[in-house]
């Protein structure tokens, strides 16, 4: 049998074994074409079907209303940090940013090149341990849009309910929790995500944007950086990352086969609970970074109280076959990323390992 690691990488991260096996099986001859998906023309009917099916699957699974465009772009979520203000923020105008971590900060920084980002709330002083309370968010009434990060990959916090922003467009970076649960897409004017956590391999960036927002975009910017270009061309203005889009489609099919987002959400709750329960029942041997009400189901950040033991923990975990448990360099400690494709068994095995490590070392 194939050896598969307990993969807790933060992204790129685990993909479903079934999807990898299917990709392997059709790698050298895709649908009788005598070539792989990677070797097809992006203008061929065969590839176009792959592309359009992926869009249709995402629309159905995420219940995306008709008045939204679905785009597959490149440049990662990081380029969206730039494209959003470039398209929607004019010089001298403000945009409200809710600061919940390092990725929010990066988005804020890019907006300064085009207009005036202002902080609607920030939990930086609390070392980004929590998501701000809705009543502590001050949205500038003149803001061109509000930006937030739905799941903070590095700090391990996640929004449980989102603010409503009325007439002001709400834009969310959902890179690290898209499709991990149901979301009311209509509460947002735009949602974007790099694919490499819950959706597939890196190289594709999903953008879901409401048409009335897109209509307000600046047209006096370079062609490739205009959303309009990609809308007009069904994301086929230039050569797209064809293999990544194919894999995205296969991952979406897998999510469907699992039973859709309700099943995925329950499974994600169960997975995270195994690990959080060990932390909570450890009498302080382990402690979480995030406050309980803001805990992420995707990225579980924690410390071993004793620093020397923490090093030992990470070394022994690695030895035992757990991959990717080192926290982000800016936070330290440990982080288990339990995205959609990380199996329940991997989380159970990690929880058992943590219990055993505590027993042996306290």
Residues 132, 194, 200, 241: which binds ligand PMP (CB under 6 A)?
194
- Give buried/exposed letters for 130-158 (b at 16+ CB in 10 A, else e): bbbeeeebebbeebbbbbbbbbbbbbbbb
Q: Which is nearer to ligand PMP, 58 or 351 (CB)?
A: 58
Q: Are 211 and 351 in contact (CB under 8 A)?
A: no
Q: Are 218 and 87 in contact (CB under 8 A)?
A: yes
Binding of ligand PMP by 176 (CB under 6 A): yes
| Pattern 18-57, ligand PMP, x by CB under 6 A | ----------------------------------------
Of the ranges 71-79, 133-141, 178-186, 253-261, which one interacts with ligand PMP (CB under 6 A)?
71-79
Cα within 13 Å of Cα(274), Cβ side: 22
Cα 178 from chain centre? 5
Residues 36, 78, 116, 258: which binds ligand PMP (CB under 6 A)?
78
Q: Is 197 among the residues known to form the active site?
A: yes
Q: Choosing from 94, 129, 177, 197, which is the catalytic residue?
A: 197
Closest CA to 184 of 296, 62, 23, 28: 62
Q: Is 173 among the residues known to form the active site?
A: yes
Binding of ligand PMP by 11 (CB under 6 A): yes
Sheet containing strand 170-173, strands side by side: 68-73, 205-210, 190-194, 170-173, 146-149, 94-99, 116-122
Residues 173, 230, 290, 333: which binds ligand PMP (CB under 6 A)?
173
Q: Choosing from 94, 129, 173, 253, which is the catalytic residue?
A: 173
Binding of ligand PMP by 203 (CB under 6 A): no
Residues 16, 76, 324, 333: which binds ligand PMP (CB under 6 A)?
76
| Pattern 101-120, ligand PMP, x by CB under 6 A | --x-----------------
C-alpha distances in Å from residue 131, one per residue of 150, 159, 181, 213, 331: 9, 6, 18, 26, 17
Q: In the block, which residue shows the tokens 């869009």?
A: 55
Give the binding site for ligand PMP (CB under 6 A).
11, 76-78, 103, 149, 153, 173, 175-176, 194
């Amino acid at each position: 049998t194939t050896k598969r690691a307990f993969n807790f990488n933060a992204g790129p991260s685990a993909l479903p074994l079934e999807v990898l096996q299917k990709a392997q099986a059709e790698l050298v001859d895709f649908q009788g074409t005598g070539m792989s998906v990677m070797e097809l023309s992006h203008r061929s009917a065969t590839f176009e079907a792959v592309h359009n099916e992926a869009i249709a699957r995402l629309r159905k699974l995420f219940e995306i209303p008709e008045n939204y465009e679905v785009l597959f772009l490149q440049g990662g979520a990081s380029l969206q940090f730039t494209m959003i203000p470039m398209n929607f923020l004019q010089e001298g105008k403000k945009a409200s940013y809710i600061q919940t971590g390092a990725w929010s900060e990066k988005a804020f920084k890019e907006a300064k090149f085009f207009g005036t980002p202002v902080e609607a709330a920030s939990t930086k002083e609390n070392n980004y341990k929590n998501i701000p309370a809705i009543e502590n968010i001050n949205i500038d009434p003149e803001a061109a849009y509000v930006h937030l990060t739905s799941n903070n990959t590095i700090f391990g916090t996640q929004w449980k309910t989102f603010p409503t922003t009325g007439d002001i467009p709400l834009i969310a970076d959902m890179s690290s929790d898209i499709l991990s649960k149901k979301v009311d897409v209509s509460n947002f004017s735009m949602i974007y995500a790099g694919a490499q956590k819950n959706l597939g391999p890196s190289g594709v960036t999903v953008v879901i944007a409401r048409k009335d927002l897109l209509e307000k975009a600046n047209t006096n910017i370079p062609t490739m950086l205009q959303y309009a270009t990609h809308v007009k061309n069904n994301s086929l203005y230039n050569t797209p990352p064809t293999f990544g889009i194919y894999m995205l489609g296969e991952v979406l099919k897998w999510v469907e086969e699992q039973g859709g987002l309700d099943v995925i959400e329950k499974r994600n709750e169960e997975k995270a609970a195994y690990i959080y329960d060990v932390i909570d029942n450890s009498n302080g041997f382990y402690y979480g970074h995030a406050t309980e009400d803001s805990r992420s189901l995707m990225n579980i950040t924690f410390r071993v109280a004793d620093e020397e033991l923490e090093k030992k923990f990470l070394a022994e975990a690695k030895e035992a076959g757990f991959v990717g448990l080192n926290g982000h360099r800016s936070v330290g400690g440990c982080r288990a990323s339990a995205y959609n494709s990380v199996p329940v068994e991997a989380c159970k095995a990690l929880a058992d390992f943590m219990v055993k490590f505590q027993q042996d070392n306290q």
